[in-house]
Structures are given as C-alpha cells and as structure tokens.
Chain A
Amino acid sequence: MELFIIFFSAALINNFVLSYFLGICPFIGVSNKTSSALSMGMATTFVMVITSIVSWLLWNLILVPFHIEYLQIPSFILVIASLVQFVEMVIKKVSQPLYRALGIFLPLITTNCAILGLALLASMRNYSLIESLVFGFGAGVGFTLALFIMSGIREELELTDVPLPFRGAPITLITAGLLALAFMGFAGMI
C-alpha cells in the first residue's frame, strides 16, 4: 500500500513537471510532436529507474558509511552523466531499433534536472531501495504522461491563430499552467 502511495504521488499528485517544476527544459523543448515526446518520456523513465537504484546504492553504501555526504552533488552528477553514457552504449549494442528511436534524446537527459532532483529527493526522504525504485518509476511515468499530454495539445495549437508575441514558449507555458490546474484535481485521491 505504501508503495502504491509513493507511485501515485510521484506520477500524478506531485507530478515532477507540473508541481515540482523539474525537467521544464525538455518539457518545453521536446513537446512539439507526440512521437518524439513519447520517446523522450520512455528514455527518461528508463534512466530514472536506473538512477534511483544506483544513487541509492552510492548514498547508502559509500557516502554515508564514509561520512563524505558533502560530496553528494558532484558524485551524483558524475554518476548520472556516466550512467547516461553507459545506457546509450548498451542500448546501441543490444537493440538497434530502440537506439534509433531514443537516439538524440539520451545525451539530453544528463542535463535534465528531473534526474538529479529525483536522486536528491529520494536521499532526502530516506527511502529504502524498493521505495526509491518505485519512486523513480512513478516519476518517470508522470514525466511521460505530462510530456505526452502537452505534445498532443501543442499539435492542435499549431493549427490555431495564436497572437504573434505569444507564439512558441509563452503559449506553451500558459497551457502548462492550465494543465497544472487540471492535475491538482488528483490531490483528492489520497
């Protein structure tokens, strides 16, 4: 039950994009087309799940026992950067179609603050290994969901007559605001 609550609160109630404001750059940048939004979401979810495991191991088995918690930020960012590189190589070796689908999105994930935010939040809340795994997966699902909905709306927006100064980022932000209001409805779920 606890795990369900963690999953749903990460995916819907405290959606990473719409209520924690993590990962806004890809949210604005890659939400033009539904297909690329879906690929980006999947790649991010994948990296998030692996990051949540690795950062938990790093934090609980290395940083805390040796009392070097102050190295948290540099070590996490290094681990994420090398992890993304590693995942990219593995996918390239194992599955060519998946590599072609995720391709350019993988390197972009390193600078996605949602990944580092996820690792920091999980260590701040003292999650166990299973809990942080579920938290990572939930956050990824929430990110994908927000990105997918947004890209669907933006494909329709292309056809509308938006005032010139509002084209591009401003109208996307206002749409995201309305979407965030809609997502607040989930707050009553738990």
Chain B
Amino acid sequence: MNKKSYSYEFVKGIWEINPIFKQILGMCPTLAVTVSVINGIAMALATTFVLVFSSFLISLIRKLIPNQVRIAAYIIIIASFVTITDLVMKAKFPEMSKSLGPFIPLIVVNCIILGRAEAFASKNNILKSLLDALGNGLGFLIGLILISSIRELLGSSSILGFKVLPNSFDPLIVMILPAGAFITFGLLMGFFNSLSLRKKESEKEKLIKKYSDKLIKSSNELVEN
C-alpha cells in the first residue's frame, strides 16, 4: 500500500482497523457500558483522552525507554492518565462516574490503549501517533454509539433519554440485560464481516473479469491474425 500519508493514519481507525469490529479489542467496556447512548459516549471520550495522551507521551519518549521494560513503562504512563480521568470524572460528573462504576479505572487494562502503544506509538513519530490515536478513538466512539443506540432504542425505546418509539412498542427488556449486549455485538460483528466479505468477493470478480476480458481479446487477435 502506497498511501501511508498522514490522513490515512487518521482515517484507517474508523473502518479499516476499527478497534471494536476489526481488531476486537476493548470488549469489556464495549459490552458493559452500552446500556445507554450517553454512557457509551462518556466511556469513548474517556478512553480517547487516555489513548491520545498516552500515545503522545510514549511516542515522545520512545527512544528513551529500554526495550526490556517497555511494557511496564507503558502501563505506568497509561495508569497515570487513567487516574487523571477518574479523578476529573469523580469531581465534575459524579453521576456519570457512578454509573460507569469500575470501568473508568479499568481503562488501564483496555487492550486498545496498550495495543496501539505497542503496535504504533512505539515505532512512529509524534504527529503520526497522535493521528492514529485520534482515529482509533473515533472508531471506538462510533462503535460504542452504534451498539448503545441499538440497545437503548430496543431496550428502553429511547435515545439519549428522549422517548423515540411510541408507547405501543413493548421494550425488549433483554436488550438492556447482559445477554442483550452479547447478542447485539455478535450480530453486528457478523453483519460487518459479511459486508467486508462481499466487498472482497466483488473485487475478486472484477479482477477475474478484467483478466478474462484481456484473455478473450488477445485470443481473438490471435485468431484474426
């Protein structure tokens, strides 16, 4: 691939390597906090904050960290930013912090952050790492909004707390229970897999058609000659 430009580093996180649907990282918060859209958004913003700042710092000091202790160093950096997030959330948004429970401190062990630190920020310059972190955070946000809006719409017939569906619609209680999270996520992932499979298939067909056309043309020319 030749388009390793700066804009590509940002855009790839949204679809091509979407942390939720493609890399399958950070499943625990994805499943746990998506009961309502507002929780999903808060979680994604907190994660993005930690992701961006830890990527920035790790990329900044990537040449100073000895290779043997890099994982420990990354974890300490990430843990400090998570502590900042946790304390700010507790001070400014106490209700949100209560409803997310232990999942804000648990951002520390969210594989997305350590994964991006290890796979990207430790090898690339600061600007690229920042764009990569922002892109991945945005992809995470989109995924969480998608799952949480499906669950909130069907489970409590509202979106962001506003009632959307009429009263005649019976809310599917299962969607706001843990089981609903697993099933929604599984179905969505299957749907996205089938989309990318279909895309691959059509590209293959196009390629085959292109070459078979060429072959027919050349054989026709041969016959004519």
Contacts and interface: CB of A to CB of B under 8 A. Distances in A.
Contacts of B178: 18-19, 21, 180, 184
Contacts of B32: 20-21
Interface stretch (B36-44, B71-79, B202-210): B71-79
Contact of A73 (B28, B72, B86): B86
Interface string A159-190: 00001111001111110111011001000000
B187 A170 contact: yes
Given A70-B83, A70-B87, A117-B102, A177 B108 contact: no
Contacts of A28: 24, 27
Interface stretch (B5-13, B56-64, B189-197): B189-197
A74 B76 contact: yes
Chain B interface SS verdict (over half): helix
Given A21-B32, A70-B83, A111-B111, A178 B179 contact: yes
Residue among B31, B109, B114 with most chain A CB within 10 A: B109
Chain A interface SS verdict (over half): helix
A51 B73 CA distance: 21
Nearest to B192: A165
Interface string B109-136: 1110010000000000000000000000
A72 B174 contact: no
B182 A174 contact: yes
Interface in A77-104: 77-78, 81
A18 B183 CA distance: 12
Contacts of A120: 102, 105-106
A59 B152 CA distance: 37
B102 A121 contact: yes
Chain B interface residue bracket vs A: 35 or more
A173 B193 contact: no
A174 B75 contact: no
B82 interface: yes
B181 interface: yes
Given A20-B32, A184-B179, A116 B79 contact: no
Contacts, number: 116
B80 interface: yes
B201 to A, nearest CB: 10
Contacts of A70: 83, 87
B171 interface: no
Given A28-B24, A124-B102, A184-B179, A170 B186 contact: yes
Contacts of A116: 105-106, 108-109
A176 to B, nearest CB: 5
Interface in A13-28: 18-25, 28
Given A20-B32, A21-B181, A111-B109, 18 more contacts: A21-B178, A72-B105, A73-B86, A74-B80, A78-B75, A117-B102, A124-B102, A166-B193, A169-B189, A170-B187, A172-B186, A173-B182, A174-B182, A178-B179, A180-B177, A181-B174, A184-B177, A184-B178
Interface of A: 18-25, 28, 70-74, 77-78, 81, 111-113, 116-117, 120-121, 124, 163-166, 169-174, 176-178, 180-181, 184
30 contacts: A18-B178, A21-B178, A25-B111, A71-B83, A73-B79, A73-B82, A73-B105, A73-B108, A74-B76, A77-B75, A78-B72, A81-B72, A112-B109, A113-B28, A116-B105, A117-B102, A120-B102, A124-B102, A165-B190, A165-B193, A165-B197, A166-B186, A172-B186, A173-B183, A173-B185, A176-B182, A176-B186, A180-B179, A181-B179, A184-B178
